[in-house]
Amino acid sequence: MTLTAANLVRRANGRPLVDGVSLTAEPGECLAIVGPNGSGKTTLISMFAGLRLPHAGRVTLNGTPLHRLDRRSVARQIALVEQHAETGERLSVREVVDLGRIPHLGPLSPRGARDEAVVDRALVAVGMADMAGRSWHSLSGGERQRAHIARALAQEPQILILDEPTNHLDIEHQLAILALVTALDATIIVALHDLNHAAMFADRVAVMERGRLVAIGRPADVLTAERISAVFKVQATIEPTETGRGFIRFTAPSRPATWG
């Protein structure tokens, strides 16, 4: 299952948010998308998930343009975990995960034993089997994110897209979520803020800057001191690690920012 973007462009108020991005997510890989705020990560991800149409270029799934495919069949192959998806409804964790079966069910077909089994498996995969009956509003941020991932898993996707899944989580849960996601048997496309997370978990890293893709490749090749300085405007040194992925140590700005 290959997801390919070709020359994607999307604008808002005449300003390009995503400007001519081409890349391919290879089957089974974990592709991290990094970039400063406003570099177009979320917009790119929403086009990958088929939620927004590009103004130019196209996204193809195994060669077929995404917008030509039936929405439901796309949802059976691509699952999305949004940045802040909240609800006012009094749903239980299990009811949230059940939502992932919607693309597999017709309007009248009842949920069967297989649907229940898939939901059970998804709950186990994120370590929430014992929380299935808990109310959504009683969950912490990390638990909500895990429930969303379980819902995405219940879609049985070949491609899982996540938009900054570690936002607002403490460091333990950040690492746990990324370890969980990257261990999955699926293509993972994940927007990340933390460059060290990208270095630790991704097979390849795509660097975005002002809507453009400025680099893509293995973390050690892409996340260099020079590129980090050019794109993120911070000084960094890359320390070698046993894994060969490198650890990025940031240097505090030498002179404090002045007021006015």
Residue with tokens 């975005």: 208
Residue 40 interacting with other proteins (CB under 8 A) = no
What is the 8-class DSSP label of residue 131?
A: G
Name residue 56's beta-bridge partners. Answer: 9
Which alpha helices (H) appear in the chain, and where do they start and end? 41-48, 71-77, 93-98, 113-125, 141-154, 171-182, 195-201, 219-222, 225-232
- CB nearer to other proteins: give 51 or 230: 51
Residue 113 interacting with other proteins (CB under 8 A) = yes
CB 141, min distance to other proteins, A: 11
- CB nearer to other proteins: give 102 or 175: 102
Residue 132 interacting with other proteins (CB under 8 A) = no
Q: Which position among 105, 215, 220, 225 is part of the footprint of other proteins (CB under 8 A)?
A: 105
Which pairing describes strands 78-81 and 159-163: parallel, antiparallel, or unpaired?
parallel
Cα 178 from Cα 220, distance rounded (Å): 19
Give the interface segment with other proteins, choosing from 6-14, 15-23, 69-77, 224-232 (CB under 8 A).
69-77
Quote the distance between the C-alpha of residue 121 and its chain's center: 21
Residues that bind other proteins (CB under 8 A): 46, 49-51, 70-76, 78-80, 82, 85-91, 95-96, 99-100, 102-103, 105, 107-108, 113, 135, 137, 155
